[in-house]
Structure 1
Amino acid sequence: MPDIPGAGPVPTAPDVVIVGTGPNGLAAGVTLARAGLRVELYERDGQIGGGLRTASLFDSDIVHDICSAVHPMAAASRFFREFDLAARGVELLSPEVSYAHPLDDGRAALAFRDLDATCAGLGRDGDRWRALMRPLAEHSTGTVDFVLSGQRALPRDLVAPLLLARGMLVHGTRLTRRRFRDEPARALLTGVAAHGVGKLPSLASGAVALLLGHLAHTGAGWPLPRGGSARIADALAADIIAHGGVFHTGVEVTDLAELPAAKAVLLDVSPKGLRALAGARLPSRYARALDAFRYGPGAAKVDFLVSEPIPWAAPEVGTAGTVHLGGTQAEMFRQETLTARGVRTDEPFVLLVDPAVTDPGRARGGVRPVWAYAHVPHGDPTDPGDLVRDRIERYAPGFRATVLAQRSVSASGLERYNPNYVGGDIGAGAMTLGQSVLRPTARFDSYRTPLPGVYLCSASTPPGPSVHGMSGYLAALSALRREFAIRTPPPLGPVETGMFTK
């Protein structure tokens, strides 16, 4: 981790104050500091990063990703493409099998980075999978940039939104039940759709399936950072510090009045957090709109320390970077829809990562971390330990015997850990089609609040959840234009080759 200055006097008053150092707060900090502004960042926790934290939980030699672990969007988004993680020493490791989906009959569907290998494994559904994914992969940059743009401008690649729309009308509706002939292909795509954490099927989940699904077959696939997710946060923080930024960690801001005077304030917080910080300062109409913002189902997390690789019934699952435990398409439709309605089930969708599969350095003498979370009703206080362990055991008999230690965090506990995860909603807002674009309210500039100089830059703004940095980046560009008359985005790469004008 870079040497982060603590709270203390700074030479001059800041131009910009940022509250929250999740990936979007850090992306905003990089962008604004690169524009030559004096930036200060406040973090209530002792460690920066938000969803990008890594820590030793049971063994000092083995680290666990506390929130996010796998980062396809960090490899694909415009912000990170320009920031260039590789040039800053962050190595994104890509497994040959991006994700796997085991079934009860001993079969498993595998999404290789090699599209042809994936299609070969799907038998008579292979051609249909290729027809769905290849056009998106051929327009991958355009597809990613359109989805992560906030959809406020005409896309550069006009084909990308047409491909998405066509695919969503099939795979975001009940038509998807008939698209593939056999269960492996149906389950393989539905497991990706479940990353939308909501009712299945839906147009929003269809978009998620197409976006993440095609990225599994691109060069980077679904990568993990060598050494853990905190490496990404460290690289962002190092750049901010190199451009004069100052961090205040272990400082909880409870009211906007506690912040130093600055021309712009960017808040990497949820709408609920904005309401708390702003209090009665917000116009009543805007406050009511924030109160109407919908949060989605929760996630309940379990970290395991195990003595050996997971004993999957289908051994090939052990080659995947990510594993979806959801059963058949019909089972996932039922479970995810019940969860979205607030009904707790005994067989929830579970997303699992065995990091040492992709990054062998994460294991020590056979002992390794396992990262897993279940989708549960919003705010569920139930300890998920037994639930998740049993879910893994169903597809990996003998897993229980390998567990040396475990730590469970309920959905309500996730909110206590990070207030942005309201009710355990790690997406910072329900992923419905309308709320994917109009986050958190119906405003053309979603980042600008009615308060002078105050902007929202969290995942509760477009384009929404995942570690892509675009919410912070786009909020920072809005603040640069409106508060500082800077209209040319600053360069983000490790070597600055041009100048921007104020």
Structure 2
Amino acid sequence: MPLRSANIVGSGPNGLAAAITLAQRGVKVTVYERMAQPGGACCTAELTLPGFKHDMGATSFPMAVGSPFLTTLPLEKFGLKWVHSPAPLAHPLDDGTAVFLERDLAATAAQFNDHDRLAWLGLLSPLVDDWTSFIDQVLRPLRSLPKHPLNMAAFGINAMMPATMLTRLLFRSQRSRALFAGNAAHSVLPLDRPASSAAGLVLAAAAHAVGWPLVEGGAGRLGQAMADYFVSLGGRIELNADITSLEQMDEADVTLFDTSPRTLDRVAGIQLTSSFRTRMRHYSYGPGAYKLDWALSAPIPWAAKGVDRAATVHLGGPQSEIARSESAAFRSKSCDKPFVLLVQPSLFDPTRAPEGKHTAWAYCHVPNAAGPAPGEDYTEHIEAQVERFAPGFRETILARHVHTPQGLEGWNPNLIGGDVAGGAMTLSQLVNRPTAHLYETSNPKLYLCSASTPPGGGVHGMCGYLAALAALKNLS
């Protein structure tokens, strides 16, 4: 019997991707969202002062602009506009210089010595040259059979290495090692752990292939564009709908949850087997995020020339320091020099702040804060790292907003303990995410479609798209 109706719990990019995929195939779909606007963590708000627009979640979107699913949607017709900074990423160093991840692969490699230049080109050229098929394979379950097995085998060998091992084997200079390590740290894994290289490879290749763009007007425009396109297909969105039981929703053939496994367990309850519920409760979460948003009187006064060319800035100095920070967060230890990921969007999108003023945000990985006990205050640590590479930064701060890991979870219950990746990105949880059944649950009418399913964290919509395809296949 064909699938005729579906409910989606949560309107983040994955929930909307699932909704769009089903609506495109004639399914009657209703999305239920607990917040007052669609988009989940893709939203923008005036957190500090009037007129200063801050993204609550992500601001740079390499996986969205390169997504095999999102790139098929006519989102530009619904108000989405990408904004690219001249360089996707800057990584300042203590010697007063910076190393850059440029859009051009050769220009990035040209910053290094001859050995590392050739190593960077050899490592990334195959991924960039074959980007479309490469990213289509990467953003699928690891157990999927590759369409280009030889290319994926070469990537897999490098991706499965610890980032510290890969850089030690390939690079000789601290500049190239630091640049790659900062990208690898997006894995939210210790850099000496297997598979920590994967995120570094994918993000560096994305910078060269498609860039790391911002959304003009704020990340909320991406969620709104997806929502508007979904509605144009005949879909319905119920806002301010905090779903705590299945009975709150209309009857449907299938329900997909763009939520954490814990929320699925809590809402579906006895509709799931006891063994499956146990696995949902034991699903593992990674480090949390401690995030600061600033309203600024002027651009950040970087010491290194050219850092103002990049929307995203990595602050952590050499690879060894980045590795210590990421290891500490994963092992629930404190770190007074955290690796800081910073974005300065108003340099390239003037709609983010009043004329002459600016916005920026930064976060670092900290121990997961699931539970009521407050964690360590990282405000001073983060701002000290910015000041280290931009003397005088503190003098530009007009106002700040702090999101602790507990605060992030309070705002969005999917962010368990401040984990913004939907669960630890360990090798075991990349293969079986959240179980060996992936999107399916113990109930054939209930599916999970959040970042707690393959391919995991990031704004790409592929979790929702693939979950919807699984539901269509199983129920048709």
Give TM class, smaller chain: over 0.9
Distance 1:453 1:281 in 2: 10
Residues 423-450 of structure 1, C-alpha deviations (whole Å, 9 max, x = no match):
100001101122112100122xx11111
Alignment of 1:215-364 (within 5 A): 215-218=206-209, 220-364=210-354
Structure 2 counterpart of 1:457, one-letter code: C
Residue in 2 aligned with 1:129?
Answer: 120
- 1:197 pairs, out of 181, 188, 211, with 188
Residues 385-415 of structure 1, C-alpha deviations (whole Å, 9 max, x = no match):
3222122111111000000000001011111
Asked if the contact 1:457–1:472 (Cα under 8 Å) also holds between the matched residues in 2, the reply is: yes
Residue in 2 aligned with 1:174?
Answer: 165
Asked if the contact 1:49–1:230 (Cα under 8 Å) also holds between the matched residues in 2, the reply is: yes
The alignment yields a C-alpha RMSD, in angstroms, of 1.6
Alignment length (residue pairs): 468
Q: Cα distance, 1:87 vs. partner?
A: 4.4
Asked if the contact 2:78–2:229 (Cα under 8 Å) also holds between the matched residues in 1, the reply is: no
Find out whether 1:431 has 2:425 as its counterpart.
yes
Residue in 1 aligned with 2:202?
Answer: 211
Asked if the contact 2:160–2:195 (Cα under 8 Å) also holds between the matched residues in 1, the reply is: no
Find out whether 1:98 has 2:88 as its counterpart.
yes
Residues 19-38 of structure 1, C-alpha deviations (whole Å, 9 max, x = no match):
11111001111111111121
Asked if the contact 1:411–1:424 (Cα under 8 Å) also holds between the matched residues in 2, the reply is: yes
Residues 138-172 of structure 1, C-alpha deviations (whole Å, 9 max, x = no match):
12112211111113432223343123123225554
Segment drifting more, 35-44 vs 356-365 = 356-365
Quick one: structure 1 residues 85 and 260, their matched pair in 2 at CA, closer, same or farther if it must change by over 3 Å?
closer
Asked if the contact 2:408–2:415 (Cα under 8 Å) also holds between the matched residues in 1, the reply is: yes
Distance 1:442 1:452 in 2: 15
Residue in 1 aligned with 2:73?
Answer: 83
Alignment of 1:7-86 (within 5 A): 15-86=5-76
- 1:381 pairs, out of 375, 392, 399, with 375
Find out whether 1:477 has 2:453 as its counterpart.
no
Residues 110-152 of structure 1, C-alpha deviations (whole Å, 9 max, x = no match):
0100111111112332221111111111121122111111134
Residue in 2 aligned with 1:412?
Answer: 406
Residues 346-365 of structure 1, C-alpha deviations (whole Å, 9 max, x = no match):
11111000002332333432
Q: Cα distance, 1:245 vs. partner?
A: 1.4
Identity %: 44
Q: Cα distance, 1:284 vs. partner?
A: 2.1
Distance 1:57 1:298 in 2: 20
Distance 2:418 2:279 in 1: 21
Residues 229-280 of structure 1, C-alpha deviations (whole Å, 9 max, x = no match):
1111111111111122111111211122322211110111111111111223
Find out whether 1:186 has 2:177 as its counterpart.
yes
Distance 1:169 1:295 in 2: 20
- 2:451 pairs, out of 459, 469, 494, with 459
Asked if the contact 2:166–2:197 (Cα under 8 Å) also holds between the matched residues in 1, the reply is: no
Quick one: structure 1 residues 160 and 75, their matched pair in 2 at CA, closer, same or farther if it must change by over 3 Å?
farther
Distance 1:163 1:310 in 2: 40
Distance 2:259 2:302 in 1: 39
Q: Which structure 1 residue ranges, 5 or more long, are not aligned?
A: 1-13, 486-502
Structure 2 counterpart of 1:284, one-letter code: S
Asked if the contact 1:324–1:350 (Cα under 8 Å) also holds between the matched residues in 2, the reply is: yes
Q: Secondary structure at the match of 1:109?
A: strand
Distance 2:77 2:129 in 1: 25
Residue in 1 aligned with 2:395?
Answer: 401
